[in-house]
């Protein structure tokens, strides 16, 4: 079975059936919801990044550098990482997909900001993205990234088994819009993310579950917990 290990905020590990370990939106050292650090993470094969904001990208380059993992993101994020010495990298962009050894990944649209943390010169900006992982055998995982509710989410209907959706409000969808996203996407399971980190995003996942109702099974995975599927 594949497994999601939720670190907290929007950070998690996705481990596939063949043992590939993928770090998504690495944010450890200054993440108040975890004791993990870049140094304590362990082996990682890939680092996927939805966008360049600090709370999603802060530890991506240090992690890729330490582990030798392949860093995957939009062309601009990968270009910036390469200026910092990252050699193992795979650039993509919105709407594009690529078959990696563990499965196919597609970058989906997200509406959010495009700055890249660490780019002090302001030379790089990028479109935020969602990530659609197709691991085969009914293991299709959609990480919406940081986004507002969009009509484009209806295009994902029938393609998602597990959806990770931000519910924190203020910077992203809140619980009400995230529940509407579940209606659009029709996943089998939904995992709320991007909440409870700071007062600005301190929403209630149980209230979100009540809003979703019978549309999908809501798995509230607390920081440090795992979910197998």
d(C-alpha 202, C-alpha 220), whole Å: 15
All structural domains of the chain, each given as residue ranges with its CATH number in brackets, are 3-218 (3.60.15.10)
Q: Against a cut of 0.95, is the pTM above it?
A: yes
> Could you read off the pLDDT of 48-90 as tens digits, one per residue?
999 999 999 999 999 999 999 999 999 999 999 999 999 999 9
> Could you read off the pLDDT of 195-220 as tens digits, one per residue?
999 999 999 999 999 999 999 999 99
- Return the ∠ at Cα 89 (arms to 124 and 194), rounded to 5°: 65
Question: What is the chain's mean pLDDT, rounded?
Answer: 97
Beta-bridged to residue 5, according to DSSP, are 13, 226
Q: Are 41 and 28 in contact (CB under 8 A)?
A: yes
Does residue 143 carry a pLDDT above 90? yes
d(C-alpha 48, C-alpha 57), whole Å: 9
d(C-alpha 91, C-alpha 93), whole Å: 7
Residue 137 confidence (pLDDT): 87
Residue 182's region, left for phi above 0, alpha for psi from -120 to 50, else beta, is alpha
> Could you read off the pLDDT of 97-133 as tens digits, one per residue?
999 999 999 999 999 999 999 999 889 999 999 999 9
């Amino acid at each position: 079975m594949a497994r999601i290990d939720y670190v907290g905020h929007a950070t998690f590990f996705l481990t596939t059936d063949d043992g590939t370990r993928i770090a998504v939106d690495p944010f450890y050292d200054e993440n108040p919801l975890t004791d993990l650090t870049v140094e304590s993470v362990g082996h990682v094969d890939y680092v996927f990044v939805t966008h360049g904001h600090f709370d999603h990208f802060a530890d991506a380059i240090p992690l890729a550098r330490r582990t030798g993992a392949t860093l995957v993101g939009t062309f601009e994020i990968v270009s910036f990482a390469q200026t910092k010495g990252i050699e193992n990298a795979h650039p993509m962009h919105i709407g594009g997909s690529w078959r990696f050894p563990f499965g196919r990944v597609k970058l989906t649209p997200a509406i959010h900001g495009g700055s890249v943390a660490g780019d002090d010169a302001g030379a790089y900006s990028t479109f935020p993205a969602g990530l659609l992982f197709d691991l085969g055998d009914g293991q299709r995982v959609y990480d919406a990234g940081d986004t507002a509710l969009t009509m484009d989410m209806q295009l994902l209907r029938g393609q998602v088994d597990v959806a990770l959706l931000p519910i924190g409000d203020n910077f992203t969808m809140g619980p009400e819009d995230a529940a509407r996203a579940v209606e659009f996407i029709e996943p089998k399971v939904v995992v709320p993310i991007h909440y409870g980190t700071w007062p600005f995003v301190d929403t209630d996942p149980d209230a979100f579950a009540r809003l979703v109702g019978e549309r999908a099974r809501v798995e509230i995975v607390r920081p440090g917990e795992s979910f197998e599927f």
